[in-house]
Chains A and B, each alone.
Chain A
């Protein structure tokens, strides 16, 4: 044992035999209060709805049937595809995708700029980007609503400088939701790209420059491919929470910008709810997230091989 002292070993014989007991509280709390609940939710999505909320323990595919198919008012017409819920999911996907793209456009230059600062100023820039992330999301969304509402400060300012004559009516539109999502998750894009650029070895850029590549070619052909794991991580960190977002669409959007989060929430509120349908919608959302994570994991492993 003594020979190993100071060689940076992480394993200690002191605590290794206890590892089961040390990990047990974590396994039990997350296993019992999250893993089992998610599995139970899967079961609930195949049960019959109770009218005052809750379920009747009779297996049925009704929830998924309601999601994907329209059987007319009395439920006996031949099956047609029901577009109502699919279009809500589709809107969520492109809203989340749009927010991800916006975050990338603003977040990449920011992350690159911060990562190339000297160490002393770098931490200050980084703290400035991190602080808003830790401010309550509800408060940030409400602040955004206050700022962009019809007779809010942004419209006042734009009218004052004469850029517009009529106030922009953003609230209750898809654009407002897009702005809200972008604003909510922007720091998520900056941080992983920052970490990747910070590890980037600039002698690669210098080598390319010596071979007469211009700066933007270097950025496109060398920097971006090398830091792409960070870019993918940022995209996943923005896309996944945007997909299931509730606050931004609920506070900034209207009936026409309904997203998955609001659809699910509605199923568990009061008497109009439908628990199996809510559970089924949650399962479909979870599957979409798993697909996104799968593509992410695949892109990451390809990045490692390259």
Chain B
């Protein structure tokens, strides 16, 4: 029929893909390699060593990094947990709520943190906190993080719930299960891959944030990105490259975990028919 022409292949697209991946990975690989450099200078290569990794934990800046890492992790865990709970409730309300007035407005509100440019969110949040006299510090960072994590947690949970037939809940309801029992014993097990992906994405987003944190952190409080930024402003040092490499590995680990949890989502829930879209 198509005279032997493969319409799915175009000359040059494969090299372009390789180029794309090369561009995406080259800087990350270079930094990883140079973080293993024994030299004090970042320009010359003097053999492999882990001294800069040791320096992160024992060097003069180790106290600062430890505090920043602790802040980053506790804020990310709390923000992601809270955002995931809010997003789960919202997804059930949106998808199982039928059609109601203000549904698209609700959806717009939930996606608002993604639509507004980060710097604008940062400015608005700072102005708001200062106007209501909210003291800047760990708590203000946490509140800001919860808000912008909600849509990231919401998306995978929403996608998962859309694929689940409501008849499971109906069946449980017919068997006199309470709402709480239905939620806990019927919905949670089926929704869990979406909830776990949502949590992990929110966690990474919180851990990565620089701009908003930088605005609302207040004096003296640092997270890892703000600490790294402050240090990089005075020039890239080898210990920062080692720290960056560790964070990079953590991100890759989390995304891969999220991906494999997501793979479980691909397995169809035993249902006769998946609703394609939710109007």
Mark A residues whose CB is within 8 Å of B. 1-2, 4-16, 18-23, 25-27, 29-31, 33-38, 40-41, 44, 54, 106-107, 109-110, 112-114, 116, 125, 127-132, 134-140, 142-147, 149, 151-153, 183, 186-187, 190, 202, 205-206, 209-210, 215-216, 218-219, 240-241, 243-244, 246-247, 251, 260-261, 264-265, 268, 275, 278-279, 282, 285-286, 289, 293
Contact = CB atoms under 8 A, between A and B. Distances in A.
Contacts of A152: 43
Contact of A135 (B30, B229, B248): B248
Given A9-B165, A34-B113, A143-B28, A25 B121 contact: no
Contacts, number: 321
Interface string B87-113: 101101111111010000010011011
Contact of A131 (B95, B146, B255): B255
Given A7-B273, A44-B127, A138-B225, A30 B30 contact: no
B119 A151 contact: no
A282 B124 CA distance: 9
B45 to A, nearest CB: 10
B7 A209 contact: yes
A110 B170 contact: no
A11 B117 contact: no
Contacts of B240: 142
A21 B251 CA distance: 34
A219 B5 CA distance: 13
Contact of B117 (A7, A114, A243, A275): A243
Given A106-B23, A142-B228, A41 B17 contact: no
Interface string B1-45: 111010111101110110111011111101100100000001100
A244 B117 CA distance: 6
Given A113-B13, A136-B225, A209-B2, A12 B90 contact: no
Nearest to A244: B117
16 contacts: A5-B170, A8-B165, A14-B172, A26-B87, A30-B113, A37-B124, A106-B16, A107-B20, A109-B13, A127-B259, A137-B210, A149-B236, A202-B7, A246-B210, A279-B127, A286-B117
Nearest to B246: A139
Contacts of B116: 34, 38, 286, 289
Nearest to B224: A136
Nearest to B99: A11
Nearest to B151: A30
Contacts of B75: none
Contact of A244 (B27, B30, B118): B118
A138 B127 contact: no
Nearest to A115: B8
Query: Chain B contact residues: over half helix, strand or loop, or mixed?
Result: helix
A134 B148 CA distance: 16
Contacts of B141: none
A85 to B, nearest CB: 15
B54 interface: no
A19 B147 contact: no
B117 to A, nearest CB: 3
B208 interface: yes
Interface in B121-168: 121, 123-128, 130-131, 143-144, 146-148, 150, 154, 162, 165-167
Given A146-B236, A209-B3, A23 B89 contact: yes
Given A8-B271, A144-B27, A146-B30, 17 more contacts: A5-B170, A14-B166, A16-B96, A34-B113, A34-B148, A41-B124, A106-B23, A116-B8, A130-B255, A134-B251, A134-B252, A136-B207, A146-B42, A147-B31, A244-B117, A264-B119, A286-B120
Given A14-B182, A135-B251, A146-B42, A215 B10 contact: yes
B20 A186 contact: yes
B7 A1 contact: no
A34 B248 CA distance: 30
Contacts of A26: 86-87, 89-90, 93, 106, 109-110, 150, 154
B55 interface: no
